[in-house]
Amino acid sequence: MIRPIVKYGEALLHRRAEAVYNVTAEIAALARDMVETMYAAPGIGLAAPQVGVPIRLIVIDLSLGRDSSGLITLLNPEFVEREGMQLEEEGCLSVPGFNATVARPGRATIRGIDLEGHDRIYSGEGLLARAFQHELDHLDGRVFVDRLRGIKRDLIVRRIRKQIRTGQW
């Protein structure tokens, strides 16, 4: 089932998500819905708060569904290691229509629990490292706009507020 995506400004998107202690049928169904929603958007990553569920669950697939082995689904992900830096343009399904250059690690390793309850570790560079940071930020109540400074951030926030006031958001 494709779920509606929560947009920037909604309170749920701006607070820390809760840890998951049991992998239930409901959690597995949510993960399937998140994957379907991510592919339909289309996007390469999605965090549970983006579909209105304040738990620590992410899905990432750089292949956009073309390679099933590329799908990462993790509960309670956390960083093991981050190093280097990359500056690339980034967007977000919760901030549609806006992009900005964001500093992210060049390489990252995360660990979490898969839907079978097994510990998993994933490492990535470039786009995958950026996706890890982007989705884990969502679990901590941050969006890419929060990582911007100065006039670029102010401009995006002002435009979003205007769209909210005019009913276009």
- List residues with catalytic annotation: 135
φ/ψ (deg, to 5) at 75 = -100, 145
- C-alpha torsion 99→161→37→78, nearest 10: 70
Helices (H) and strands (E) in the chain, counts: 3, 7
| SS3 label, residue 136 | helix
